Amino acid sequence: MDSSRIIVKSPGRINLIGEHIDYNGGYVLPGATDLIIEFTFSNSKKNFSEIFSSTINKECKIEFSNLSKSKIKWENYLIGSIVSILKKRKVELKNFTCRIDGNLPIGSGISSSSSLICGFIKGIDILNDLSFSNDEILSISREVEYDFIGLKGGIMDQYTIINAKKNNLILLNTKDNTSKYIESNLGEYKILLLNTNKEHDLSNSAYNDRVNECNKALQIINEAGFDFKYLTQINIEQLIQLKNKMPQYIFSRAIYVIEENLRTLKSVEYLKNCDYKSLGNLMYLSHDGLKNLYQVSCEELDFLVDQTKSYDEILGARMMGGGFGGCSINLIHSDFIDAFINEIRDNYYKKFSIHLSPILTSLGKGLRFNNKE
Ligand code: GLA
């Protein structure tokens, strides 16, 4: 391989359970997909940099002297990454060409945007010998999404993309960003994602509203005499005592958050005991909470989850990621995958006239470059 060429592979992330918990200081249980974005970087002698994505068949030119926001959304992930890198290191970056390929679906709740940002930062890091640590890549990528893009999300996606290990989930405590790997082979069961193909744009959606609603709940709780930093610190009994002090919908959001956080910890126990049936039940409960209390699901996701309930071979299903579209995640017996896919595809098309995209995935490796582990 040409030594001046740098190849970076950046995965997507799945989340077994612990949804909308990462900005509430609680526990989440994500892992990387084996689907990736692949970047090929080379140095360039031109006085600008060029990026071509074969996935969306688009090209973007970047001049380091003009890093203002673009009207084209995907370009902002790239421009924002350079802005944040330059804030971290006051250096003159080398111009480059970058080709983006891969098989990670876009806008499907598998975190293609964080994967794009993390992989892009890693490539520029290597190209310029910036020697960023994983924690630095984490904070840079987080800043891009939070400040430049405006998604007030948590840290789960970037943390997972950077740190994931094959066949492992990560139990991440978002209170202090400490984590443990949880080996997860899932026995005879597999992870099947069902992509609704209902595009969602989290930065324009109710995602940030949910973040604000959780902050509101925390504020009311603290005004009542507590001194918590995160919503996950209050317990159910304490919250019920404060029910009359908050609007019903804020109470519902808070109840969901506290229950989901407990479900995540319980899921780890079930995983360790290979009790996949109980784990699956928690996934269904998680979906109920996301649909009814947290209200981030949609008709398509609810349909997909409901359909699984008539099959013993599927132990659990729920919407995954920010919501309002994207994928459901299903724990399904390996012998039943083909039959189920055929059936659900037809049923989904009959109901919504949208093609469903099934994605069978295993737990893959985190961010890597030049075929290094
Ligand atoms: C999006 C955000 C994450 C997380 C999930 C919901 O993927 O980027 O930080 O909040 O939604 O769990």
Say how far apart CA 89 and CA 285 lie, in whole Å: 45
Read off the pLDDT band of 372 (50, 70, 90). Answer: low
Mutation test residue for ligand 1: of 15, 16, 19, 22, the one with most atoms within 8 Å of CB? 22
pLDDT digits (tens, 9 = 90+) for 17-58: 999 999 999 999 999 999 999 999 999 999 999 999 999 999
Mutation test residue for ligand 1: of 157, 158, 202, 287, the one with most atoms within 8 Å of CB? 157
**Ligand 1 pocket, residue 316 CB under 6 Å:** no
Average pLDDT score over residue span 8-17: 98
Tokens representing 19?
Answer: 């949804």
**Ligand 1 pocket, residue 319 CB under 6 Å:** no
φ, ψ of residue 187 to 5 degrees: the values are 55, -125
Average pLDDT score over residue span 352-362: 96
Read off the pLDDT band of 81 (50, 70, 90). Answer: very high
* Active-site residue, 22 included: no
Active-site choice (2, 125, 147, 157): 157
Q: Which atom of ligand 1 is nearest to the CA of 145?
A: 8
pLDDT digits (tens, 9 = 90+) for 160-201: 999 999 999 999 999 999 999 999 989 999 999 999 998 766
Say how far apart CA 18 and CA 29 lie, in whole Å: 6
In the chain, DSSP assigns E strands to: 6-15, 27-28, 30-43, 49-53, 58-62, 96-102, 168-173, 178-183, 189-195, 314-319, 327-333, 357-361, 363-364, 368-369
Helices (H), 54-182: 73-88, 112-127, 134-143, 156-163
pLDDT digits (tens, 9 = 90+) for 131-160: 999 999 999 999 999 999 888 889 999 999
Are 54 and 207 contacting, i.e. CB atoms less than 8 angstroms apart?
no
Average pLDDT score over residue span 347-354: 97
Q: Which atom of ligand 1 is nearest to the CA of 18?
A: 12
Say how far apart CA 361 and CA 167 lie, in whole Å: 11
Residue 373 has pLDDT above 80, yes or no: no
**Ligand 1 pocket, residue 143 CB under 6 Å:** no
**CA-atom Rg of the chain in angstroms:** 21
> β-strand 49-53 against 96-102: which pairing, if any?
parallel
> β-strand 30-43 against 363-364: which pairing, if any?
antiparallel
Q: Which atom of ligand 1 is nearest to the CA of 156?
A: 9
Tokens representing 23?
Answer: 């900005």
**Ligand 1 pocket, residue 366 CB under 6 Å:** no
**Ligand 1 pocket, residue 145 CB under 6 Å:** no
pLDDT at 173: 98
Amino acid at 105: P
124 Cα: distance to centroid of ligand 1 (angstroms): 25
294 Cα: distance to centroid of ligand 1 (angstroms): 13
**130 SS3 class:** coil
H-run or E-run covering 259: helix 248-272
CA distances from 195 to 107, 122, 305, 348, 357 (A): 10, 28, 12, 11, 5
Top pLDDT among 232 and 207 is at 232
Mutation test residue for ligand 1: of 23, 27, 156, 320, the one with most atoms within 8 Å of CB? 156
**Ligand 1 pocket, residue 253 CB under 6 Å:** no
pLDDT at 151: 84
296 Cα: distance to centroid of ligand 1 (angstroms): 11
Residue 203 has pLDDT above 70, yes or no: no
321 Cα: distance to centroid of ligand 1 (angstroms): 5
Instruction: Render the burial of 280-311: b for 16+ CB within 10 Å, e for the rest.
Output: bbbbbbbbbbbbebbbbbbebbbbbbebbeeb
pLDDT digits (tens, 9 = 90+) for 89-128: 999 999 999 999 999 998 888 999 999 999 999 999 999 9
**DSSP secondary structure, 190-245, as one string:** EEEEEE------GGGSTHHHHHHHHHHHHHHHHHTT---SSGGGS-HHHHHHTGGG
**Ligand 1 pocket, residue 154 CB under 6 Å:** yes
Q: Which atom of ligand 1 is nearest to the CA of 202?
A: 1
What's the distance, Cα to Cα, between the start and end of the chain in Å?
17
**Ligand 1 pocket, residue 325 CB under 6 Å:** no
Read off the pLDDT band of 3 (50, 70, 90). Answer: low
Say how far apart CA 264 and CA 277 lie, in whole Å: 15
Q: Which atom of ligand 1 is nearest to the CA of 207?
A: 11
Q: Which atom of ligand 1 is nearest to the CA of 109?
A: 7
Say how far apart CA 69 and CA 75 lie, in whole Å: 8
pLDDT at 204: 58
Are 346 and 355 contacting, i.e. CB atoms less than 8 angstroms apart?
no
CA distances from 150 to 19, 143, 209, 292, 324 (A): 20, 9, 12, 26, 18
pLDDT at 341: 98
pLDDT digits (tens, 9 = 90+) for 232-279: 999 999 999 999 999 999 999 999 999 999 999 999 999 999 999 999
143 Cα: distance to centroid of ligand 1 (angstroms): 15
pLDDT at 201: 64
pLDDT at 1: 46
**Ligand 1 pocket, residue 111 CB under 6 Å:** yes
pTM of the model: 0.96
Q: Which residues pair with 51 in a beta bridge?
A: 60, 98
